[in-house]
Structure 1
Amino acid sequence: MDTSIQPSAEKLTISKWCHAAITEISCQEKGTMLAPGSALTLEQGRQTTGATGSLQNLKKFNNQDFNHLRALCLSQGLLFEDATFPAHISSIGPNLLPEDKLWQIQWRRPPELQRNPYLILDGVSRFDIMQGEIGDCWMLAALGSLTLQKRFLENVLPKDQGFQEDYAGIFHFRFWQYGDWVDVVIDDQLPILNGRYLSVHPRTSNEFWPSLLEKAYAKLRGSYQNLHGGYLSDALVDFTGGVQVQFSLKEPPPDLKEILKAADKSKCLMGCSTSVQVKRNIKLRNGIVQGHAYTVTGAVKIPYKNGWKHIIRIWNPWGHGEWKGPWSDNSPQWNHVEPKFREALLRNKDDGEFWMSCENFQEQFSWLYICNSTPTFLDFGDQHCTTWSVDRHINWWHPVLATGRNNYSPAGAVSTNPQYFFEVPDYDPKTYNVVISLMRKHAEDAQDAKKMKIGFLITMENSKVLRESFSLTRDVTNYFTLSPGTYAVVPATADNQEFEFLLRIFMKNQDYNENSNSLLSPLLPMDVPRQNEDNSYKTVFLRYAKQGSTIEASQLQQILNEVILQDEMTSVGGRFSFDSCRGILALVDLNSNGRLTLQEFGSLWRSLTKYMDIFSKEDRNHSGFLDVSELKSAIQTAGLAANEQLLRLMVLRYGDAARRIGFSDFVCCMLRLETMTYAFQNLAEGGSQILMTAMEWLTLVMYT
């Protein structure tokens, strides 16, 4: 500090100190706000951090608005006819049936098929579903699992429709597609062949939600023909927006039983499939169908004889056809189970659902699929209060790897493909802590897309390839136990086509507990339960640091506006300006270099989280602003002090014309008050007065 000029030092009390600190600085925090939606372009593609295509801001498939179209039909007394997915063989697909049968298809609305149709009758259940002529057991197995999880089901199946009120022959359903929720509108004309449903048909004759939902999904994928054969994993993700992992039952993980129990406990969607021996849908003597998809509806450990037994409950989308071996409906094993367990678990009906042992499950089935918003199925053992953070990236990949079909060069991928860095801070060798999911968008020619092998490499900072995961599926996902360090994910393909992809990196946060200063933002609106997703400061820092080790004011502005201001109430008071972010950065910039390290950002993040809690608590009328009395209470809650004169100046400096303070200004105000209060206390060394030179004073106030 320059001490060459030393005028007489003024004694400053803490009240004068804060008064000066609040009022002397020029309007650093009051800069010009960015226009709505403006943001700096991120390197390596765009990251999805906002609510685009969220359940609150749906994308309209084919630009069709359900409410507008229904109102139009009702006003004109017409039943809706969907020109974008017409009652024509073009919606069926040219290769699903022989040509003569295609022309025999008739399209009928539910009121033509049943006198008193309902969309939903006595609730939604997997037992409402019975597979039709189309080979879409993969989709129906996922749908059966969806019916068990209300939190996901309500996202897909809106309640604002039916046959009893405002019926106009129009319905809509919602699906997740590559990072966005999409609303799909259909008419209710269903394909009928020789008096039978071509598509799924309900067990109860006048309940039509399964048939209409299936039609909407067929429209989303282009035709009914495109539902004839597919991946159960795709449907699980499309119904939830979650992450799915496939487990080979021929080479199962050693903790398969624990994974199943954790998945059942955390209410995941689950399915399984059998291998294809010669041809699909061959029913074995034991009742299991080859080349077929099933729903896993339960996994429990029950007392059996003198020990315990792990058993799995499975449902066949055909609505009939069950396992005939041990633990089936009439097997003698149930005689050795206590009545209370037998009565709770056993349903002796030919409804397609059955129990089997975990050992038989691994013998009879090839793959297990588990899906949830975050990988909660990997939380088992002695873990408590774990959460998962997720980082998303959308970009295009280029055929830089190709050296011939299905050949690729890992070294070439690392040197030329986009790399996405992430840091693993914690490590428990007994648990999985990273899940990586790479999804490619469909090519125009879906058949060619199915032949394309995609995947990713995981490298360390020295570009050494540690892991490789490749598959012909749309979604390549794998789970890992990684030690602390910095890693990079490199998407790759062995084909000569460009594709857009969505990359998601899930990381477990093991140091979370309910009594700590949680790194979860309590105000961020999520499409998933809050406990399942965590914006840890380390994840946020790495996301916006542009692969560097520090962040500057423009990157801090992005974080505050894109991550912190996602909640409607916090955004009412305006966005963070660039100047305000420079001021905030200066308050925690210990090195005075205009940048924040990870440690400095962590300190700021904890303060932001604290002030979001306080703002939410004190904004009692949920207006998005604090008045003078609420601000006074917020200051007291934060453990700080301000007399009436200082409080008046703070409102004058940071408030609007109505003497109200919005969230962004509240943060700027409280961070300055907190920083200056602690600075005074440190300089005063426990006293109530300090001595400062002019240059010392100016150095503090002109930067901070």
Structure 2
Amino acid sequence: MPPPGVILDIIEHRRRVEGAGSLKNPVKFHRQDFHTLRQYCLDNRLRFTDGSFPPDSSSIGPGVLKDHDLARVVWKRPWKIVQNPCLIVQGVSRFDFMQGKVGDCWFLAAIGAMTFQTRILEQVLPIDQGFGNDYAGIFHFRFWRFGKWVDVVIDDKLPTLDGKLIFVHPNRDNEVEYWAPLLEKAYAKVCGSYADVIAGSVSEGLMDFVGEAYVGFILKPALSYLWDLMDRAKKYVSLMGCATLAVTPGEDTELPNGLVAGHAYAVTGVAQVISHGHPMKLVRVWNPWGFTEWKNDWSDKSPLWQTVSEENRRKCLKDADNGEFWMSMQDFLENFCELHICSLSPDYLDDSECCWTSSTQEGRWVAGVTAGGCTDHMETFWTNPQYLVTVENETQHTEDQGTANMLVSVIQKSDKKHRHLATMYQIGFYVFEVPPEFQNSKQRFPASFFNTHKPVEQTKTLISARGVPKFFWLRPGQYIIVPSTKNPNEASGFLLKIFSKFKVFVEECCVQPDFDVRTLSHSQSYEPENIKNVFSQYGDQYMEINAEQLQKLLNEKIIKRATSQTEGFALDTCRSIVAMMDLSTTGTLSNKEFSRLWRKVLNHRDLFLKLDESRSGKLPLSKLWNTLQRTGTMVDHTLIHLITSRYGNSYGEISLQSFIFLQLRLDYIDKTFHTLSKGNGMHLQQKEWLHLAIYS
């Protein structure tokens, strides 16, 4: 049985602190080490078979093939399909492969764009593998996934039907080249199955290949500076993709002009030619189907090519039915709805010379706590994560085309193993300037601030996409950036990525308590005489209280007196409370041990009741973060997510008994660590760890 997810998260975090997740030290997907596995196979004369992505129907996934076809699928290694297969033949090209039965044109368009950038290609497709002497049926590829690079190991068994590859397959002109089918399989593994690669935005593929600066454009209304920006992007290490608007959702419809509606394309080049004595800006686009091209002006057979110089014609025009074509920038803007550019840096955004710096913050929208929705929901908007950004250096701002000094993007991160199960929320962000009276405040800005201040920048619309970027100009000062989903209680992890032309300081805002726990009036039940009376009423003849007696005591003295709308303490909870307070490990509480417990219980009850004005016995989880901060507990997004998952209910609430138990447990964990630790760490032998884990 694998270890719990919390443990795996801790291991991953430690590895990232040590540098794991970088391109030079990627995270091993499913903890599979390519070089170790390959050497084991070579030493034992084996061909690798991947148990984590097995060659069976589970890896194909639902809805791709009909049942009778699925039953006939045979998984074959390339050398059983063709003689002398190769990973790469004379370099890679967008014309090396053809799309198969799965609708992943968005991913293949990103691959096509990548073939122009050797540096990015070598990031994704390591050169230390092939079908030569070290062949063992194992390959690996690298993808940028939500802030970290992962190394994905696969076997080379590919699904076939009637002897032919079902999904991406080599071009007919070079049937022995297999880098593209294997790359698609590795990506299907990351997404969960081949079915999970169906339907998406080309921006997803571009981000997973590059992992740095992403910018997207809605092409209507047209941006006058866009062609110049694309021209600069092609000179840097950048990938570009675009898409047409769907006529019928979920269907690819070929239009009379040769384009396909609802389809992803790669932008493979831009050029300016002289036609009829006037400059003409052109864009080259590639259809990952490998056929079906634009039929109008500047298409392969357009007479307009006879109006340009022979040099330009020879340089640009290749009349072949390969899915690639030229069109004017005007036609590009009129027929495509979006453009995506992903690059190693945002240098191309304007023509100034600068050195961009970057900062990445990882956060989470927790339902009922930090998922406040957009500004249409001002009563909860302020509960979203808030990031204080300090802009110190003066930068020259001009009104030139595309001038900006900040590129900010929010990227949503699903916890689902299968991509098609992930909900793609509408997301965006808002930027508020911090006025002088709030300068240098590191506390969470209250609802009143957002009710009286308007954002100086924001994403134009909240978009249902993995990443939503915007580039803009900010003058020196302090700002609050608030990432949000469209609606409250939409739970997801996210990355906030900030590129700037100058050094900026980014930190998450803390929570501002609206009252001090120390101001709470103490209950008369705190008095020693009252504690003694309670203890004698429920204790046994040996002057001790066991878990069953404690359960009765807490439910009668705490729950029934506070509320009648909650079920009370469970026996197992009371056993845990006894274990945490039992100094003599007898399984019972003495008078002294009970006195310590009773004071804590009453204190936590009073805090809860101060917030639970309706006496419902339940507290909205939205109040939990502030409440924990007031008691001195340091809470981050991950901890609050775990707490709400473990102690909250499906209605976004925490009950009185769960709140008291949570506070007792946090106090126990804190004391345990500080008692046994040396500095910032703690070492336990296995027996010691078992004792702690079992009796608590």
The TM-score, its normalising length taken from structure 1, stands at 0.64
> In the aligned structure 2, how far is the partner of 1:60 from the partner of 1:545?
29
Cα 1:400–1:409, aligned 2, differ >3 Å: closer, same or farther? farther
Residues 242 and 373 of structure 1 are in contact (CA less than 8 Å); yes or no, is this contact kept in structure 2? yes
User: How big is the shift at 1:376?
Assistant: 2.6
Q: Please say if residues 95 and 225 of structure 1, whose CA atoms lie closer than 8 Å, have aligned partners that are also in contact.
A: yes
Decide whether aligned partners of structure 1 residues 412 and 198 sit closer, same or farther in structure 2, where only a CA change above 3 A counts.
same
Match for residue 480 of structure 1 among 472, 482, 492: 472
Distance 1:154 1:223, change over 3 A: same
Give 1:403 shift. 9.7
Aligned partner of 1:502 in structure 2 is 495
In 1, Cα distance between equivalents of 2:299 and 2:495: 42
Which of 205, 209, 216 is the matching residue for 1:246? 216
Give 1:411 deviation, angstroms. Answer: 6.4
Asked if structure 2 preserves the Cα contact closer than 8 Å seen for 1:401 and 1:492, the reply is no
- 2:377 is aligned, of 401, 409, 413, to 409
- Quote the Cα distance in structure 2 between the aligned partners of 1:467 and 1:194: 56
Q: How far does the alpha carbon of each residue in 1:267-300 deviate from its partner, in whole angstroms, 9 at most, with x for none? A: 4100111111025221122211111111100112
Deviations 1:557-609 (A, max 9, x none): xxxxxxxxxxxxxxxxxxxxxxxxxxxxxxxxxxxxxxxxxxxxxxxxxxxxx
CA distance, structure 2, for counterparts of residue 177 and residue 392 of structure 1:
14
Aligned counterpart, 2:413: 441
2:110 maps to amino acid: A
Is the CA contact (8 Å cut-off) linking 1:271 and 1:368 kept in structure 2? yes
Look up the equivalent residue of 1:502 and give its one-letter code: L
Offset, 1:249: 1.5
2:316 to 337, 340, 345: 345
How far apart are residue 76 of structure 1 and its match? 1.3
State the shift of 1:408 in Å: 4.9
Identity %: 41
From 361, 386, 397, the equivalent of 1:428 is 397
- The Cα shift of 1:97 comes to 2.2
2:430 to 445, 453, 457: 457
Paired with 1:267 and 1:392, the residues of 2 have a C-alpha distance of 21
Distance 1:128 1:447, change over 3 A: closer
Distance 1:68 1:451 in 2: 37
C-alpha separation in 1, matches of 2:229 and 2:398 = 16
Once the two structures are TM-superposed, the CA of residue 309 in structure 1 deviates from its matched residue by: 0.5
* Other structure's SS at 2:80 match: helix
Q: 2:189 aligns with which of 210, 219, 229?
A: 219
Q: What does the per-residue CA deviation read over 1:81-104, in whole Å, with 9 as the maximum and x for residues that have no partner?
A: 000000000001122222222222
Residue 237 of structure 1 pairs with residue 227 of structure 2: no
**8 Å CA contact retained: 2:387, 2:508:** no
Partner of 2:501, secondary structure, is: strand
| Equivalent residue, structure 2, for 1:119 | 87
1:357–1:237 CA distance, 2 compared to 1 (3 A): same
Partner of 1:303: 274
C-alpha change, 1:454 and 1:484, in structure 2 (3 Å) is same
1:379 maps to 350
Change in 2 beyond 3 A, CA 1:352/1:98: same
Whether the 8 Å CA contact 2:405–2:472 is kept in 1: the answer is yes
**Residues 228-256 of structure 1 deviation map (CA, whole Å, 9 limit, x = unaligned):** 11121111010011222111122232311
- Cα 1:422–1:478, aligned 2, differ >3 Å: closer, same or farther? same
Equivalent residue for 1:131, pick from 88, 99, 113: 99
Give the residue type in structure 1 aligned to 2:73: I
Distance 1:211 1:438 in 2: 31
Change (3 A) 1:301 1:435: same
Q: Does residue 1:85 correspond to 2:58, yes or no?
A: no
Asked if the contact 1:459/1:487 (under 8 Å) is kept, the reply is yes
Amino acid at match of 2:397: D
Correspondence for 1:468: 458
Shift of 1:169: 0.5
Give the letter for the 2:426 counterpart: K
Which sits farther off after the overlay, 164-173 or 276-285?
A: 276-285
1:290 aligns with 2:280: no
Shift of residue 500 of structure 1?
Answer: 2.2
**Which residue identity lines up with residue 281 of structure 1 in the other structure?**
D
- 1:313 counterpart SS class: strand
In the alignment, the residues of structure 1 paired with residue 330 and residue 74 of structure 2 have an alpha-carbon distance, to the nearest angstrom, of 46
* Aligned pairs (5 A) from 1:642-661: none
Q: What is the alpha-carbon distance in structure 2 between the residues aligned to residue 157 and residue 403 of structure 1?
A: 38
* Structure 1 residue 406 displacement after superposition: 8.0
Q: Is the 8 A contact 1:459 1:488 kept in 2?
A: yes
Is 1:365 the counterpart of 2:336? The answer is yes
Q: Which residue is equivalent to 1:324?
A: 295
1:615 corresponds in structure 2 to none
5+ unaligned residues in a row in structure 2: which ranges?
Answer: 1-12, 436-448, 511-696
Q: Give the drift of 1:427.
A: 4.0
Q: Distance in 1 between matches of 2:370 and 2:52?
A: 37
Q: How does 1:46-57 map to 2 (within 5 A)?
A: 51-57=19-25
Contact 2:241 2:339 in 1 (8 A): yes
Say whether the 8 Å CA contact 1:93–1:224 is kept in structure 2: yes
In structure 2, distance between residues paired with 1:490 and 1:401: 15
Which secondary structure does the structure 2 equivalent of 1:450 belong to?
coil
* Equivalent-residue separation in structure 2 for 1:446 and 1:311 (angstroms): 36
The alignment status of 1:391 with 2:363, answered yes or no, reads no
Q: Is the contact between residue 420 and residue 490 of structure 1 (CA under 8 Å) also seen in structure 2?
A: no
Structure 2 counterpart SS, 1:158: coil
| Separation in 1, partners of 2:236, 2:330 | 23
| Cα gap change, 1:253 to 1:482, in 2 (>3 Å) | farther
CA distance in 2, matches of 1:496, 1:159: 45
Question: Contact 2:98/2:289 (CA < 8 Å) preserved in 1?
Answer: yes
Contact 2:240–2:267 (CA under 8 A) maintained in structure 1: yes
CA distance, structure 2, for counterparts of residue 80 and residue 452 of structure 1? 39
Cα gap change, 1:481 to 1:189, in 2 (>3 Å): same
> Structure 1 residues 446 and 410 mapped into 2: Cα distance closer, same or farther (>3 Å)?
farther
Residue number in structure 2 paired with 1:209:
179
Structure 2 CA distance for partners of 1:56 and 1:312, relative to 1, 3 Å: same
Distance across 1 between alignment mates of 2:380 and 2:344: 33
Taking structure 1 as reference, are residues 296 and 306 closer, same or farther at Cα in structure 2, changes over 3 Å only?
A: same
- Tell me how far apart the structure 2 counterparts of residues 310 and 250 of structure 1 sit (CA, whole Å): 18
RMSD (Å), alpha carbons: 2.6
> What TM-score results when the alignment is normalised by the length of structure 2?
0.64
Structure with bigger RCO (C-alpha 8 Å, 6+ apart):
1
The one-letter code sitting in structure 1 at the alignment partner of 2:259 is I
Give structure 1 stretches of 5+ with no counterpart: 1-44, 510-537, 548-704
Q: Match for residue 245 of structure 2?
A: 275
Which residue of 202, 210, 234 maps to 1:264?
234
The residue correspondences of 1:90-101 to structure 2 (distance < 5 A) are 90-101=58-69
1:3 alignment counterpart: none
